[in-house]
Structure 1
């Protein structure tokens, strides 16, 4: 009798998951009747790591304000319910916007296209430059001055500083042609010149510069870059008002083999994205959660496990999660509330906004 030998391929499980998602495409329900002061958006989908962040990313990039959220993704299915408004606190009633939301979440193919389309498409019109170094007064002005000298237009720039670290993602084009810069020698020269500016007189912390046509969401990439230089290691609120500090706690839930993260802090735009982004990139799975941001203070509670299903293993790990979430919240806090954390956003060509000491 002949036997059938089937060899296992590492890609087989991935292909099986794709098949499951194709058979069970994401489904979105938009309800403008059940809640008096918010639009309810419910997303159901086959579960996979990172899907919660992808959903939150789309809502955030549409400038929706999440007032409440319920998260459940235990097992093979993901369900999330968001109560959202526009920036003025009104329901989302624009038909084109609602159709866009339905299209974004309505099928696996369009869902993934939408995720990649917001700030993530490689472009022939610009080159992406990533910069990491030590923060100091005048850094952004110096970087933009060097790029101007090198005949580069700064089309878009996001810069975050926190805890003496600085990270920036810039989109630049050739001054003469208006196209992306592709010449290897010129790119190497740009990289070297910017690295020299980042190093300055401080050689203790290594500066890093990368150029290319990146496809990572800009703000997620900034979180990853700041995390890579361990900006969470020293308290950003030393010597400042402790009342402004976010309250983050992590406790073990032994009956469920998971850990419960609670966050309480002043509410602000994109707070949910920042916390979910951090937990996802630290390779934790949020399988249950509640978010309440209807008042001036936001409350978030997440039940989390490692990707492999295991809970946190030590007090040191719990402390690290607390520090990383605090840092993720602080990075985007304005200068008025946090002297050691700041972010800047530039659109179009210079001149640069010089309202912050770092730009003078």
Structure 2
């Protein structure tokens, strides 16, 4: 049966390649058509998921999509995007322009199938672990401590929390060899211990740990994991203030047999990817769309049908779609104070840093952990574990412990990155971050 399924997939790929040869995709980039953005036009044979693939290519380059016009009626797909770099400038870098052209144009491997994933990392040199469970203060600290005890080095991680749930994709290597962990017995032990940590004392909601050996796009996978974990379901006693929630409406356009989805919310990077990803994974097809995403507010309008050709056909389906889109928008919202850490990477670094946070009553709401050329480049969004605003004195103390130049506060003027006045403890803590364990100094309780 597996052979038959593989043969069927191969036939599908060959058919799609034939369609591509008959109707090669076209990519046109114009820096003259718009005063303040580069206009990118993509024409291609239509296929479910193609819009997400195009948006993902642009998003993975950290480009800002300020406007988009999408039309995919019939067998042809036509998109126009106005994009800038992160500084709001037109695209001038020849390398980026060539990458877009090669990724989406006629000479690309641009076939939106199950096998294609944009912006993924090879798993040959690391082991990917997917985690979902109940969120609680100190969870990231506990997970990273377990991995350190198991002689695992965290090379990258992405952590999201939303609506009392947490999801993470963590990439690890063996501490001694620096390569992927392949021993099935060791992997089983890692999986079981992490699952116990995620479960905690919560006996109601399930915790999951999955060892992944396939290439994945981390952002899309996190959306899928949280969707499968039903983070979009809100408890009656945990209803967010209506004014803080994004505005999402779904109405049926009976004359055209479309359902029209309208979204209004605060603009932020990757917002378009998050909404298109959710619609695609929920098996909706976008036929037309109009997107305006110029600060501070974003407006998105989609004409959709389900993959079976029907619009939204019940109130229950309408409410579920609204809840899922709200959740997709909220998951990446940066709730908390932004801290950036940059230092020489070493085994146990993440465990030590997050333990310092936990011992000072800080809870991590989102985290991006990466290593590059021997450097750890980490971003944490933290808040007080009790829900109160973060105390500036605690942040100052943590920065003294870790290092003023190593850990910096971003985006909040009340927390200055400039060193505070000389302190009698400054020299005591100065070499702390070079130590293998914070426990040795008695600052962190065992």
TM-score (norm: length of structure 1): 0.90
Match runs of 1:233-252 below 5 Å: 233-234=233-234, 238=238, 240-252=240-252
| CA drift at 1:221 | 0.3
- Give the direction of change, closer, same or farther, for the CA distance of 1:201–1:235 in structure 2 (3 Å limit): closer
Cα contact 2:43–2:79 (8 A) shared by 1: yes
Structure 1: 5+ residue stretches without partners: 1-8
Task: Report the more deviating stretch, 212-221 or 144-153.
Answer: 212-221
| CA drift at 1:238 | 4.6
Matched residue, 2:435: none
**Equivalent of 1:344 in 353, 356, 367:** 367
What is the CA–CA distance in structure 2 between the aligned matches of 1:251 and 1:237, rounded to whole Å?
Answer: 28
For 1:159, what is the secondary structure of its paired residue? strand
Aligned-residue CA RMSD (Å): 2.6
What is the CA–CA distance in structure 2 between the aligned matches of 1:353 and 1:249, rounded to whole Å?
Answer: 32
Cα contact 1:122–1:213 (8 A) shared by 2: no
- Give the direction of change, closer, same or farther, for the CA distance of 1:158–1:16 in structure 2 (3 Å limit): same
Matched residue, 2:181: 181
What is the CA–CA distance in structure 2 between the aligned matches of 1:299 and 1:228, rounded to whole Å?
Answer: 27
| CA drift at 1:332 | 0.7
Q: Is 1:32 aligned to 2:55, yes or no?
A: no
What is the CA–CA distance in structure 2 between the aligned matches of 1:254 and 1:341, rounded to whole Å?
Answer: 46
| CA drift at 1:132 | 0.7
Cα contact 2:368–2:378 (8 A) shared by 1: no
Cα contact 1:135–1:164 (8 A) shared by 2: yes
The structure whose RCO (Cα within 8 Å, separation 6+) is larger is: 1
What is the CA–CA distance in structure 2 between the aligned matches of 1:73 and 1:210, rounded to whole Å?
Answer: 36
For 1:256, what is the secondary structure of its paired residue? coil
Matched residue, 1:144: 144
1:302-328 deviation line (CA, Å, top 9, x unaligned): 000011211111111111100000000
1:80-130 deviation line (CA, Å, top 9, x unaligned): 0000001111101111111111111113643359x9575424322110000
Cα contact 1:332–1:342 (8 A) shared by 2: no
| CA drift at 1:14 | 6.2
Cα contact 1:25–1:107 (8 A) shared by 2: yes
Matched residue, 1:297: 297
For 1:292, what is the secondary structure of its paired residue? strand
What is the CA–CA distance in structure 2 between the aligned matches of 1:326 and 1:354, rounded to whole Å?
Answer: 20
| CA drift at 1:215 | 1.4
- Give the direction of change, closer, same or farther, for the CA distance of 1:255–1:290 in structure 2 (3 Å limit): same
| CA drift at 1:25 | 1.9
- Give the direction of change, closer, same or farther, for the CA distance of 1:73–1:236 in structure 2 (3 Å limit): farther
Cα contact 2:40–2:81 (8 A) shared by 1: yes
Matched residue, 1:198: 198
For 1:140, what is the secondary structure of its paired residue? helix
Matched residue, 1:75: 74
Structure 2: 5+ residue stretches without partners: 1-6, 338-362, 386-397, 399-443
Match runs of 1:70-219 below 5 Å: 70-107=69-106, 109-112=108-111, 116=116, 118-219=118-219
- Give the direction of change, closer, same or farther, for the CA distance of 1:14–1:306 in structure 2 (3 Å limit): farther
- Give the direction of change, closer, same or farther, for the CA distance of 1:137–1:234 in structure 2 (3 Å limit): same
Match runs of 1:46-57 below 5 Å: 46-57=45-56
Matched residue, 1:311: 311
What is the CA–CA distance in structure 2 between the aligned matches of 1:309 and 1:182, rounded to whole Å?
Answer: 44
